Amino acid sequence: MAPLDPHSFTDSHHPLTTDISLSLYLDFPSATIHGVAFFILKSPHVGQLYFDTRSLYIHQVLSPITLSPLPFSLSSSPDPIKGTQLSISLPDDDVLNSFFIVFSTSPSSSALQWLSPPQTFNKKHPFVYTQCQCIHARSIFPCQDTPAARIRYSAFLNVPRELSAVMSARHVDRRSPVAGEGHSHLLPGGFNSLWCSETRVVEEFQMNQPIPPYLFAFAVGELGFREVGPRTRVYSEAVNSVLDAAAKEFAGTEEMIREGEKLFGDYDWERFDLLVLPPSFPYGGMENPRMVFLTPTVIKGDASGAQVVAHELAHSWTGNLITNMNNEHFWLNEGFTTYAERRIVEAVQGEDRAILNTGIGWKGLNEEMERFKDNLEFTKLKNNQEGVDPDTVYSEVPYEKGFQFLWRIERQIGRPAFDEFIKKYIATFKFKSIDTHTFLKFLKANVPGIEKEIDLVLWTEGTGIPPDAYEPVSNLYTKIVSLANEFKLGRMPREDEVADWRGQEWELYLENLPKVIDASQVLALDERYRLSESKDYEVKVAFLQLAIMSQCRNFYGEVEKTLKEVGRMKYLRPLYRALVQGKGKEEDKILAKRVFSEARECYHPIARGVVESIFAKHL
C-alpha cells in the first residue's frame, strides 16, 4: 500500500473517484442517514480498492451490471484518526470502473450534528447540518476522503415535507418522491418502501465541478431566505429577526464578489449563497461552494462580520479552485485565502480595516509560536502530520504565516507583478490539488531569481517566524498598540480616544494587553467600557479570557453563559484552555468540567473532540 495522504487509507496506485451519485434518506428520530452511493472511478480497476469510513455500517457493495454482491471487508479495529478502512474486491472477470455501496450512518457521525427543536432558533423543528473539513466526509458516506480526490456529485435528499434542504451544489428540484428515483430502490432495511411516503419530499442537487470531499455539505431544517444581490441569497432558519439582521450585515456581498473578480479572475461557481447556522456551528465560516456556512456570531450589526464572508469568498479561488493535496500543505488553502481576503477587504472597506485585520493576525501568529513551543513542527508551513489529528493541531499558523510568506513575495516583486502572478497561478492550477513543491516550482519559473532574494526553504520548511516577516504599520494600528502599552503603566484610554472604535479596534487592543493583570484593573476596564456585555464575540471572548487569566471571578458567570450559548471553536478553545491550563486553579478546572458536561450535547462532534483534547492535555 502506498498512502496518498497521511489522513486517508486511499492508495496512490488506485484510481481515484471522479463521480458520485447519492440517494439519502434522512431519518431524524434515529439521527441516521440510510444511503446508496454509486461511484465512478477514473479508470477500471481489478483487485483491492481502499476507501475511508468512520462510524458507518456497510450493508452491501454491488456490481453495477448484475447488482450481485461484491466482496468487501472492514478493518478489525478503527484507527483513532483515520477511522475504518473499507476494502472492496473488484473482480478480474468483469473489469469495473463503477459500483454501488449501500450504507447507513450512525448517531455518532463526526460530520453531522442533529439538533432537536429546543437547540434551534425557531424552537419548532429539528435541524441537521454537516461539517466535513478536514476528514469527516467519511462519516457521512464511504469515500476516498482526501483533497487529492476531486469529485463531481449528484444527490437526492429525502426529508420530512415540512423541512427544506440546501447543499454545496446547484438546486435542481423539490418534488414529491418517485419510486426508484436515483438508486433509492437499493436502500437498506425497508427504507426503499418509506421513500415515497406522503410525509416526505425529495430535494435534488447537482455539483458539476470537481471538488474535494471536505466541501460536500448540506443542511436541512425549516429554512427561509432574503435576497441580497444578483448572485446571493442569505438563508437561515425561518426566523425573521435572524434573516433581517443577516441580510443587513451582508448587504455588500456583491461588491466583494466584483472586487474578487477584478483581483483573481472570473467567479466560477455561479451562485454565492450564505447560510447562517444555529449557534453550535463550530467555525466562523465554511467555504462550501455555492453555499457558504456561517456562524451567527459574525452578525455584529455594523457590517464588520462581512470580513468572514470575504474570507470564505476568497476561498472560491484559493482552496476551492486550487486545493492543497493534503493537510500537510494546508497553508496553500488558508495562507492564500487570508491574503486574498485582506485584498478584498482593502478594496471594499479601506486600507485601515485591512491593516487592523493583519495586525490581529500578527498577534495571533506570535501567540501560536508560544502554543507550539514544545512542538515546533506545527510552526512550519509544510509539516509532517503522520499520526496527527488535523483538528487537534488546527491553528493560525497556515493562515497567518502563509499570509506573511505571500506578503513577503509581494513586497519583493511589487504588487502589480504579484497580482499578475496570482492570476496566472489560479488559471494554471484551477480544479487541481497541488502541494508546496508544485507551488515553489511554479513560483521560481515565473519569478526568476526569487530564491536568491527570499529564503523559500526557511519560509516553507523552517520553524518559527522568519526574520523578514513584517508587522503591519498604520497610524490607527500604531495608536491602538500604543494605548495597550500605556495600560501597562496604569492608564486606560479616554472615552474620546475610543469613541470611533468598533469591534476590531477593541479586539486588537485587548490582544495587546498583558496576559495577566490585576483583578481590579479588569473590573475597572469593564466598568468603563462594558466589554463583558459586548455583542461582538471577538471582543467579549478576548475580555473574558483576560478575566480568567487574571483570576477575576466576577465574570465567571459570563464565561459559563458564553460557553453554553455558542459552539464556535475560536471561542471554546481559548476559554476552556484558560480555565484548565497551569498548576493549581482547581476551582477553574472543576468549573470547566461541569460546564462541558452540561453543554457538550449542544456542541458539534468536532468541537466536542477539540475540548476533550484540551482536557486530556491539561487535566
260 is in an annotated binding site: no
404 known ligand binder: no
C-beta of residue 402 within 8 angstroms of C-beta of residue 290: no
Of 237, 312, 410, 507, the active-site residue reads 312
Q: Tell me whether residue 494 is annotated as binding.
A: no
Measured in whole angstroms, the distance separating CA 128 from the mean position of its chain's CA atoms is 17
Q: Is 399 a catalytic residue?
A: yes
Is 132 annotated in a binding site? The answer is yes
- Is 329 annotated to bind a ligand? Reply is no
Ramachandran region, residue 306 (left: φ > 0; alpha: ψ -120 to 50; beta: rest): alpha
d(C-alpha 255, C-alpha 258), whole Å: 5
Residue 180 counted as an annotated binding residue = no
Cis, bond preceding 602 (omega within 30 deg of 0)? no
Structure letter (DSSP) for residue 188 = S
126 marked as binding residue: no
- 3 secondary structure, DSSP code: B
Q: Annotated binding residue at 604?
A: no
Q: Which residue in the block uniquely carries the three cell numbers 428515483?
A: 181
Q: Which among 394, 399, 477, 603 is annotated as catalytic?
A: 399
DSSP assignment of 169-234, as one string? SEEEEEE---TT-TTGGG-STTHHHHTT-TTEEEEEEEEEEEE-GGG--EEEESEEEEEEETTEEE
Does 569 show up as a binding residue in the annotation? yes
167 marked as binding residue: no
- Strand locations in 222-363 (E): 223-229, 232-237, 273-276, 285-286, 291-294, 322-324
287 is in an annotated binding site: yes
The answer to whether 234 touches 243, Cβ cutoff 8 Å, is yes
> Which among 33, 234, 36, 63 has a CA at the least distance from the CA of 154?
36
573 marked as binding residue: no
Q: Does the annotation mark 153 as catalytic?
A: no
Give the closest residue to 283 by CA, choosing from 136, 475, 402, 64: 136
Strands (E), 309-375: 322-324
User: Residue 568, annotated ligand binder?
Assistant: yes
Q: Provide the terminal-to-terminal Cα distance of the chain, rounded to the nearest Å.
A: 38
- Annotated binding-site ranges for a peptide: 131-133, 282-287, 568-570
> Where is the binding site for Zn(2+), in residues?
311, 315, 334
Active-site residue numbers?
312, 399
Residue ranges of the binding site: 131-133, 282-287, 311, 315, 334, 568-570
